[in-house]
A and B are shown apart, each in its own frame.
Chain A
Amino acid sequence: MKRFALISIPYLWLLALFLVPFLIVLKISLSDTELAIPPYTPTLDIAQGWAGVREWWAGLDMENFVWLTEDDLYWKAYLSSLKIAIISTLLTLMVGYPIAYGMTRAPDEWRPTLMMLIILPFWTSFLIRVYSWKAILSNEGLLNQLLIGIGLIDEPLVILNTNIAVYIGIVYTYLPFMVLPIYAALERLDESLLEAAEDLGCSRFTAFWLVTFPLSKQGVIAGSFLVFIPAMGEYVIPALLGGSKTLMIGKVLFEEFFANRDWPVASAVAVVLLLILIIPIVLFQRNEEKQREAGK
């Protein structure tokens, strides 16, 4: 009895507030748009029983999904999000790996402090961290002041409200997610393997490529997914740092919903985004399971 209550309370909560909402999104994505409140006409009428389901199936036209393929705004936004997410994941990896590597090479008594310095931004407001770049990247901003001051450029660089600012924003805010799994993987590494490689005539660099990097692969994979998946649906960073030309699907969804009040299309956008993300999510979970088994 107690066991039943223990299982059913969180189970029912998640069913009601996680699974059911999804089914509603799926249902509305198949409805027709209408200028009303709520602004859609449900095509599925459950009250009619089986006849209603049959009628719904016959009238099912996937209209909103067809619309997504016809209006090039949407597929361009998906492609552009994919591009931005991939590039910024690679950039985060390039910035994050050396930091994680440097942390494992640091003297033992520094490690807790370095660890805390990596985790601290994670507890600080995401919104504030994104906002902090606005004053740096704007045309009159501190970066341009500095570059003009040292005479490197004459005209201010336009960075804010471009994709470059979005890349910087994503790398900056998601860096801890990349560093921590790589650090965890590198810390487990048996250093005698490196010594063996050097004894066998590898240079330090070859030893790194042949031994260290392959052994940290799972950390790299985990970190990359942890950056890629949220970056794909990101809203705040393109809204604050990107320009009107920055197309990202999270932003399109948000605006479709709030500005155009087109709920069926917004729901269809969400369904397609989820379908795109299912592949990386499944791969990520498989990687985690592999790691858990290796850890045992």
Chain B
Amino acid sequence: MRKLSWFNTLTLTLGFAFLYIPMLILILYSFNAGKLVTVWSGFSFKWYGELFQNEAFLQAAWVTLKVAVVSSTFATILGTMAAYVMVRAGRFRGRTLFSGMIYAPLVMPEVITGLSLLLLFIAIGLDRGVLTIVLAHTTFSMCYVSVVVSSRLVTFDQSLEEAALDLGCTGFEAFRLVTLPITLPAVISGWLLAFTLSLDDLVIASFTSGPSSTTLPIKIFSAVRLGVTPEINALSTIMIGLVTIGVIGASLTSKRAIAKKQKDEREAIS
């Protein structure tokens, strides 16, 4: 049993305080009655009420949600295929280019990705709107999905699939009954990652959206550029709350799944 030294306790406390205090302040001031976000003038839900009356924000939130659901679903399908190709397809012509195109978007500055996609859409005469944002988000998030899924596929024991085939499964059955259940957690986290990336993206969406398809980050950005507004604090609090519930929920489910698996294994042995 290790014990933390005073030095490590101090760095961890300071480090986590640095990470969390700004967000806690943001949340606290969303309940402030006054217009100023730096002077506390009493508790109120006023800004939440104003937020839900703001048509423009609600409209943008709806566009963002639509884009995120559609693009993360496409990204998951394409990214999983790409991961399968990277890990399983062996050698083929242009493999180096393929893996380069999978890894490059991960480190590409967003301004370059956004600019290049916009120039493409203009060159082929595609009007900017929800469709172009979906295409852009699918492209960069499929690369993240393929990295997540391929790291799972690498550790996957192929003899399990071979066993299923030996026992009379067709290729598709082996995929459905063996490969899919084992890779599913990675596919789901890939989808969640793509979904969050899409919800969060400002720069690429600024380049690829049209006037009728403003997303929530674009709306937030233009509001906060001018200063701090309590309405944005309220909106941020809702978003932070949803993410926290999601992440804690996911970690509890996976913990329970691991505990259940260990229990099953113990019972199988005894």
Chain B, residue nearest A258 (CB)? B206
A10-B81, A123-B243, A235-B203 known; A107 vs B2 contact (CB < 8 Å): yes
Tell me the B1-39 residues at the A interface (CB within 8 Å).
Answer: 1-5, 8-9, 11-12, 15-16, 18-20, 22-23, 25-26, 29, 37-39
> Closest approach, in angstroms, between the C-beta of B73 and any C-beta of chain A?
14
Decide yes or no whether A131 CB sits under 8 A from chain B. Answer: yes
- Total A-B pairs, Cβ < 8 A: 228
A7-B89, A10-B81, A14-B98 known; A127 vs B112 contact (CB < 8 Å): no
Tell me the A263-286 residues at the B interface (CB within 8 Å).
Answer: 263, 266-267, 270, 273-274, 277, 281, 284-285
Stretch at the interface among A17-25, A46-54, A62-70, A211-219: A17-25
Chain A, residue nearest B192 (CB)? A123
Decide yes or no whether B111 CB sits under 8 A from chain A. Answer: yes
Main SS of chain B's interface residues? helix
- Alpha-carbon gap, A96 to B228, bound state (A): 28
- Alpha-carbon gap, A39 to B15, bound state (A): 48
Decide yes or no whether A124 CB sits under 8 A from chain B. Answer: yes
Decide yes or no whether A141 CB sits under 8 A from chain B. Answer: yes
- B111 and A135: CB pair below 8 A? no
Decide yes or no whether B167 CB sits under 8 A from chain A. Answer: no
- A172 and B38: CB pair below 8 A? no
- B16 and A117: CB pair below 8 A? yes
Residues in chain A near residue B163, CB distance under 8 A: none
- B117 and A132: CB pair below 8 A? no
Q: Lowest 10 A-B CB distances belong to which pairs?
A: A233-B109, A21-B116, A99-B15, A98-B11, A132-B22, A102-B8, A10-B82, A21-B120, A102-B12, A14-B101
Stretch at the interface among B54-62, B176-184, B216-224, B260-268: B216-224
Decide yes or no whether B269 CB sits under 8 A from chain A. Answer: no
Stretch at the interface among A71-79, A192-200, A249-257: A249-257
Tell me which of B16, B38, B196, B244 contacts A135 (CB under 8 A). Answer: B38
Residues in chain A near residue B221, CB distance under 8 A: 127, 236, 239-240
- Alpha-carbon gap, A11 to B84, bound state (A): 12
16 extra A-B contacts, CB within 8 A, seeds A17-B135, A267-B115, A277-B109: A10-B142, A13-B142, A14-B82, A14-B101, A15-B101, A24-B119, A99-B16, A107-B2, A118-B19, A120-B243, A124-B23, A131-B26, A134-B227, A239-B225, A250-B110, A277-B107
> Closest approach, in angstroms, between the C-beta of B216 and any C-beta of chain A?
9
- A10 and B85: CB pair below 8 A? yes
Decide yes or no whether B232 CB sits under 8 A from chain A. Answer: yes
Q: List 8 A-B contacts (CB under 8 A).
A: A7-B89, A17-B120, A106-B2, A124-B239, A129-B22, A140-B39, A229-B107, A233-B111
